[in-house]
Chain A
Amino acid sequence: MTTAIESLRDKDVSFADIRHESHASTQINVTNGIIRRFGRATKSGTVARALVGECWGMSSTSESLSSNVCKNLVSEAVRSAKANARFSRKSLDLSDVQPIEKTVWQKCQLDPAKVSTDEKLELVMSLDKAQKIDDRIVNTNSVYNDSKIVFQLVNTVGSKLEWDELRITSVVQSVAREGNRMQFDYGVKGGSAGYELLKSINPEEFGGNCAKGAIELLSAEKPPSGSMTVISDGDISGLIAHEVCGHASEADEVVKKRSFLTDMVGVQVGTDQVTLVDDGTLEGVSGRIPFDSEGTPSSRTIIIKNGVYEGYLHTLETASLMGVLPTGNGRSQDYNRRVFARMTNTFFDSGDWKNEEIISETKEGLYVLKTLSGMEDVVGGGVQCSALKGYIIKNGELTQLVRSMTLAGKVLDILKTVDAVGDTLHFSGGGACGKGEEDFISVSHGGPHMRAEMVVGGG
């Protein structure tokens, strides 16, 4: 790789890099007590990028790594960049990019590769068994997944980097049925960690609670629809942080003025209880990365501080265009996909309310729990966050359980109604974030309990 990048002599190319990735993962899926999948997957590939004017070319292959392969990739990337560059309106200046030579290997207490497959199988089987608490549980699903990606990166400013990313996840999902009614619940535990994270699971509790949740949902009512006071749990708060504020803070959407948060630095966008952070350095959570896919060290970026908008998430390119330092948010799904501005671990920071206090001091409202899905609205600043369940709050007490619903509204309106923020942060057990419907990367989202005014649509 180094030879190929050092031998690049083309005055039109202002920057180039080569990244090699080796992926290895283990998957165990158990359904109704039967192992449906027990697999170990590996793949590796190399991608070269070249910058001409303001346009990039990229070329990747799964062929074995060699000097010739790398030279061919660089050559193809340069060809594509030059073809695009006839539309180029300016030249990007990446001359401020500093060379880094570093190797960072992730530490963990129990390397999943050294844990016996018997032990992993036993864990997943016990999770599945623990869900069978009632005849109404008609389907149990339990998943184990570990993954390790090893990266090597070189670029034309002289960086030489090696690092790895280790992630582990366990998921349970129970399906309950009574007559024609079917409902499910789920549980996830995961993060950027070794097997020690899953060792801490109590299977009876983890699997059993999931099944209990599915059975309870069989008697859940349809939720109310309309504008109301909503208390979101940390998971839902995190989804709002990620989908609406996070995506719109990705600076590629800002430099072309597509984001509703363009030109918002210094503007009060929420109450003083609202602080939003993206932090790729956080140990243990799924979006932790030592370097992004461009070799920039990850960092902690304050997006909103006490209600005032502070800053965006940058790649090398967007940082150059906006005259700031890159934040380590240039990420790609893998060697086959482009690098662009992406989140890492995005969360609303904690406040000083006790969770119970937020509920007891709400006369009427809806307590919303557990994410199902979300979608960004970078242009309009709207929210679509779907939740699995909730409870109607009456006179400060949780009453009727209600089933799936969607939260909506304009985020800048919602943030201006946040009047209570909990003191305990919760991070999702891991997840894959897409942008523009694809390019999935590992991230986490999180937050405390929060109270705000939102629109609810109950399905």
Chain B
Amino acid sequence: MNIADIADKILSVSEKSGATQAEVYAIRVRTASTYIDDNIPKIGGSMIETGFGLKYIIGKKIGFSSSTLAQEKPQDLVERAISLARVNNEDEKFVSLPEPKKVSDSADRFHDSSTASADSTILMEKAMEVVQGASCDNVTVPNGSLRTSSATFHIRNSLGVDVGSKGTIAFGFFTAKSEDNGSVGEGVQRCWSREINSIDYHGLGQMLKEQALSMLKAKPFKEKWEDSVAVLAPSEGTEMVYNLIGFAVSGENVNKRSSPWSDKMGEKVASENITVIDNGLSERGLLSSIVDDEGVPTQKTTILENGILRSYIFDSYNANQLELQSTGNGIRRTARELAGRFSSPAVCAGTTMEVRPGTKSVDDIIGEIKQGIYVEHFAWPIVDAMSGNFSNEIRNARIIENGELGNPIKYALWVGNLYESIKGSVLVANNPEIHDKRVMPTIAFPNTEIVGQ
């Protein structure tokens, strides 16, 4: 039985047992993986998982249950959800599940058959291209992973939603270690695509090698630079920008008043150089699909237009509270991991966040900076999305002085407030890259500090 038929059965049992409304989410994920360990493919893996999530509603009382149905039947899933809904309190803010809407695209628009059919042997060969590109006398690839997933999901609800979509993801993460006379350096590279064959694996390996070798020359940064510009490579900047803006424009955070932008619609909250779009139909987006995980058609939503806040993003629950339409942002899936996503109900989250590229190259932008830093890799780029404060350890970076890239440095912290920084003279480059659920270019953030150790 395919997952749509099982979803249909679960919905039918739910309706017969007295649900006012019910929603079934069904997903089947096939994943192949290879893990590099000390320059060789150490583990080859394959995984298949099927799961179902049921939202069972009695009036305004909601119960959620989920299962792989390996050890139980659809009836068990329904009974468990009923038992939760019955004892739950009423959610006065719940209005309704989504109504069906016309979906014009094909369910497999974002599905790549080469990626879906790749097995661990194919991945092994591609991962070894990275190793070959990176390896030399004093550089090894101690860790790496390359994974492809194909997901087919389907949503059925009691209002008539009966729709699904398919998608594919390829993701890789590799580290390189360089050594020279007791000195060590590390390179880190990730790759993301919907299509396994679109990635330049050998080139990725070469970038990894260059990064690791560059770090052998890195000197500890011992100064304190105030009011500096940090130019962040897309892998780092996208993480921080999404965590900040994704949080601030989430309809859930707006409704519960934890967003600092909850009362700033139409106001200028960022530099005019920043235009941000949530694009559920992004051609490069890893979560691109014709519907979101509630069955609502996905769309392109302009969030920031030249720095002015134009829209929040909504799932159906949060949109209904404000008598608005869902923007197709009821999301369960993540770009990195598709397994297990049936276990949680949809939440309000971004699909693919796109930052409109600028016209200048990275070199042009660096050429305009008097004093700053170009960061390729942080320990982990994080920001407190409520306050905007951040303090991140720099792992791979080069200083910028008088418009020129200088020596590689290590042991420094990048400190500041991102809400304040993006109001300043932000510079956006013309090199958009895909990382996780973001397509963004290199961005230069002003008014920050670099603190040496």
Contacts of A457 in B (CB 8 A): 391, 393, 413-415, 451
User: Contact at B68–A121, with CB atoms within 8 Å?
Assistant: no
Contacts of A252 in B (CB 8 A): 37
Using C-beta atoms within 8 Å of the partner chain, give the interface range for chain A: 35 or more
Residues 14-53 of B, flagged 1 when their CB comes within 8 A of A and 0 if not, give: 0000000000000000010111011011111111111100
Using C-beta atoms within 8 Å of the partner chain, give the interface range for chain B: 35 or more
B407 within 8 A of partner (CB): no
User: Contact at A59–B451, with CB atoms within 8 Å?
Assistant: no
User: Contact at B40–A459, with CB atoms within 8 Å?
Assistant: no
User: Contact at B177–A258, with CB atoms within 8 Å?
Assistant: yes
B109 within 8 A of partner (CB): no
A396 within 8 A of partner (CB): no
Complex CA gap A258/B38 in Å reads: 9
From A8-16, A153-161, A377-385, A422-430, the one touching the partner chain is A377-385
A84 within 8 A of partner (CB): yes
Complex CA gap A35/B60 in Å reads: 11
Contact of A40 among B65, B91, B186, B224 (CB under 8 A): B65
User: Contact at A380–B345, with CB atoms within 8 Å?
Assistant: no
Contact of B387 among A373, A384, A404, A406 (CB under 8 A): A404
B369 within 8 A of partner (CB): no
Contacts of A64 in B (CB 8 A): 70-71
Contacts of B393 in A (CB 8 A): 375, 377, 382-384, 406, 408, 457
B429 within 8 A of partner (CB): no
Residues 44-87 of B, flagged 1 when their CB comes within 8 A of A and 0 if not, give: 11111111000000000011111110111000000011011101
- Across the two chains, which residue of chain B brings its CB closest to A44? B70
From B195-203, B280-288, B358-366, B376-384, the one touching the partner chain is B376-384
Residues 378-405 of A, flagged 1 when their CB comes within 8 A of B and 0 if not, give: 0110111010000000000000000111
Complex CA gap A43/B70 in Å reads: 8
User: Contact at A386–B68, with CB atoms within 8 Å?
Assistant: no
Q: Which of B31, B84, B175 has the most CB of A within 10 A?
A: B84
**A182-B387, A225-B451 given; A39·B177 CB < 8 A:** no
A126 within 8 A of partner (CB): no
Complex CA gap A183/B363 in Å reads: 38
User: Contact at A34–B71, with CB atoms within 8 Å?
Assistant: no
User: Which residues 380-427 in B have Cβ within 8 Å of A in the complex?
Assistant: 380, 382, 384, 386-387, 389-393, 395, 410-411, 413-417
- Across the two chains, which residue of chain B brings its CB closest to A413? B453
A410 within 8 A of partner (CB): yes
- Across the two chains, which residue of chain B brings its CB closest to A55? B42
**A38-B88, A61-B47, A87-B41 given; A455·B66 CB < 8 A:** no
Contacts of A63 in B (CB 8 A): 48, 50, 70
From A75-83, A272-280, A357-365, the one touching the partner chain is A75-83
User: Contact at B384–A380, with CB atoms within 8 Å?
Assistant: no
Contacts of A177 in B (CB 8 A): 257
Closest chain A CB from B94 CB (angstroms): 9
Contacts of B85 in A (CB 8 A): 38
User: Contact at B44–A80, with CB atoms within 8 Å?
Assistant: yes
- Across the two chains, which residue of chain B brings its CB closest to A125? B89
Closest chain B CB from A50 CB (angstroms): 10
Closest chain B CB from A405 CB (angstroms): 6
Complex CA gap A253/B80 in Å reads: 44
- Across the two chains, which residue of chain A brings its CB closest to B385? A182
User: Contact at A386–B43, with CB atoms within 8 Å?
Assistant: no
User: Contact at A41–B415, with CB atoms within 8 Å?
Assistant: no
The A/B interface has a contact count, at CB < 8 Å, of 260
A117 within 8 A of partner (CB): yes
User: Contact at B44–A57, with CB atoms within 8 Å?
Assistant: yes
Contacts of A226 in B (CB 8 A): 224, 451
From B295-303, B323-331, B333-341, B437-445, the one touching the partner chain is B333-341
A281 within 8 A of partner (CB): no
Contact of B411 among A44, A382, A406 (CB under 8 A): A382
Complex CA gap A76/B44 in Å reads: 10
A206 within 8 A of partner (CB): no
Contacts of A127 in B (CB 8 A): none
User: Contact at A225–B449, with CB atoms within 8 Å?
Assistant: yes
A144 within 8 A of partner (CB): no
B258 within 8 A of partner (CB): yes
Contact of B395 among A76, A87, A253, A377 (CB under 8 A): A377
B120 within 8 A of partner (CB): yes
Contact of A410 among B143, B411, B415 (CB under 8 A): B411
Contact of A121 among B66, B89, B140, B257 (CB under 8 A): B89
Residues 173-212 of B, flagged 1 when their CB comes within 8 A of A and 0 if not, give: 1010100000011100000000000000000000000000
B232 within 8 A of partner (CB): no
B370 within 8 A of partner (CB): no
User: Which residues 118-150 in A have Cβ within 8 Å of B in the complex?
Assistant: 118, 121, 125, 138-139
Complex CA gap A36/B346 in Å reads: 11
User: Contact at A34–B91, with CB atoms within 8 Å?
Assistant: yes
A268 within 8 A of partner (CB): no
User: Contact at A42–B45, with CB atoms within 8 Å?
Assistant: no
Contacts of A225 in B (CB 8 A): 224, 413, 415, 449, 451
Contact of A84 among B124, B257, B391 (CB under 8 A): B124
User: Contact at B384–A372, with CB atoms within 8 Å?
Assistant: yes
Complex CA gap A435/B91 in Å reads: 38
**A42-B68, A63-B70 given; A83·B410 CB < 8 A:** no
**A117-B87, A252-B37, A459-B415 given; A258·B120 CB < 8 A:** no
Closest chain B CB from A43 CB (angstroms): 5
User: Contact at A405–B391, with CB atoms within 8 Å?
Assistant: yes
User: Contact at A61–B40, with CB atoms within 8 Å?
Assistant: no
Complex CA gap A182/B65 in Å reads: 35
Q: Which of A138, A372, A384 has the most CB of B within 10 A?
A: A384
**A175-B386, A258-B142, A384-B392 given; A55·B41 CB < 8 A:** yes
Contact of B453 among A44, A372, A408 (CB under 8 A): A408
A102 within 8 A of partner (CB): no
Closest chain B CB from A32 CB (angstroms): 6
User: Contact at A40–B80, with CB atoms within 8 Å?
Assistant: yes
User: Contact at B66–A41, with CB atoms within 8 Å?
Assistant: yes
Contacts of A55 in B (CB 8 A): 40-44
Complex CA gap A227/B27 in Å reads: 51
User: Contact at B35–A459, with CB atoms within 8 Å?
Assistant: no
B102 within 8 A of partner (CB): no
Contact of A62 among B38, B68, B84, B390 (CB under 8 A): B68
Complex CA gap A56/B417 in Å reads: 46
B101 within 8 A of partner (CB): no
Complex CA gap A83/B343 in Å reads: 33
A96 within 8 A of partner (CB): no
Can you give 9 A-B contacts (C-beta < 8 A)?
A40-B65, A41-B344, A59-B46, A59-B47, A83-B124, A175-B257, A225-B451, A379-B184, A382-B393
Residues of B within 8 A of A (CB): 31, 33-35, 37-38, 40-51, 62-68, 70-72, 80-81, 83-85, 87-89, 91-93, 120-121, 124, 128, 140, 142-143, 145, 173, 175, 177, 184-186, 224, 256-258, 260, 336-337, 339-340, 343-345, 379-380, 382, 384, 386-387, 389-393, 395, 410-411, 413-417, 449, 451, 453
Residues of A within 8 A of B (CB): 22, 31-32, 34-45, 54-65, 76, 80-81, 83-84, 87-89, 117-118, 121, 125, 138-139, 175, 177, 180-184, 225-227, 252-253, 255-258, 260, 334, 336, 338, 372-373, 375, 377, 379-380, 382-384, 386, 403-406, 408-410, 436-438, 455, 457-459
Known: A62-B68, A87-B41, A377-B395. 18 other contacts (CB 8 A): A39-B65, A40-B81, A42-B71, A43-B343, A44-B68, A55-B42, A57-B45, A59-B46, A60-B48, A76-B46, A80-B44, A88-B40, A117-B87, A180-B260, A182-B387, A406-B393, A438-B337, A458-B415
Q: What 9 pairs across the A-B complex have the smallest Cβ distances? A: A457-B413, A80-B44, A459-B389, A39-B64, A406-B391, A384-B379, A459-B391, A384-B393, A256-B38
